[in-house]
Amino acid sequence: MNALNDSNALPASQAKIAVVTGAGSGIGRAVAVELLRTGWSVALAGRKPETLEETAALVPEAPSLVVRTDVSRPDDVAALFDAAHERFGRLDLLFNNAGTFGPGGVPVEELPYEAWLHVVNTNLNGAFLCAQAAYRRMKEQDPQGGRIINNGSISAHTPRPLSVAYTATKHALTGLTKSLSLDGRPYRIACGQIDIGNAATDMTERMRTGALQANGETAVEPVMDVADVARTVRHMAELPLEANVQFATVLATAMPYVGRG
């Protein structure tokens, strides 16, 4: 569908610019496609250029930019935001989405430090580096301001068994969100967080065959359409900067979260 003919699309005069990390698959791809098809221009960031190109090809008529980026590397992050600025001239939205679960099912006492560090570098340090770069652009541009949406998780509230690295980083993202939201007020920089439970992606494929529960049993869990997450992110993104969804939780209705454990 041509975004210009989509009744939900932004008018050309209101077209906005986004950076989406982890845009080559899963939630990142779904959000990028939702934005592209509704009038946004999007810089697609991720480690694999070929999957980013596949995302861009899903909405070929929309303005997009593919930038190979490892969010845990400061030089890569700087190059991403420089490229987005050079191509589009400003930044209205960062969807801070890149992340990794790490080695699931490993007891705390057996988790290698290298595995812990990989998860922290991607989920937390990467989110900070991207938020910092976006914050600088949003503070300096004219008109000033913009929005950062961090992809938290249900695990930012309640852990799954044997997921210490992932859970710790997602709890830390909540603190990052709150600090950015507070510090961004003078510059019209809004920051919110979306906590997602069991969106149907490759990362959650195991839910359909059985996931370890807090009582030690393995159970199949329901999932939801990732497009419903993408529409929620777009709603958050398109609010005026005078309004902010600070935290949103979107989950498969019957998943074991409320009362988990």
Residues designated catalytic? 166
Token pair 């950076």 in the structure block, residue = 19
Prior bond of 143 cis (ω within 30°): yes
3 state SS for 16-36: CEEEEECCCCHHHHHHHHHHH
Q: Which residue has the tokens 């991207």?
A: 130
Please give the Cα distance from 218 to 3 (Å, whole number): 43
The structure tokens listed for 120 are: 């922290």
Element (DSSP H or E) covering residue 167: helix 164-183
Number of Cβ within 10 Å of residue 73's Cβ equals 14
Q: Annotate 119-148 with b (16+ C-beta within 10 A) or e (fewer).
A: bbbbbbbbbbbbbebbbebbbebeeebbbb
Residue 199 DSSP class: B
Written as one letter, the residue type at 222 is P
Tokens coding 143: 């008109």
- Three-state SS annotation for 128-152: HHHHHHHHHHHHHCCCCCEEEEEEC
Q: Which of 27, 22, 26 is nearest to 233 (CA)?
A: 27
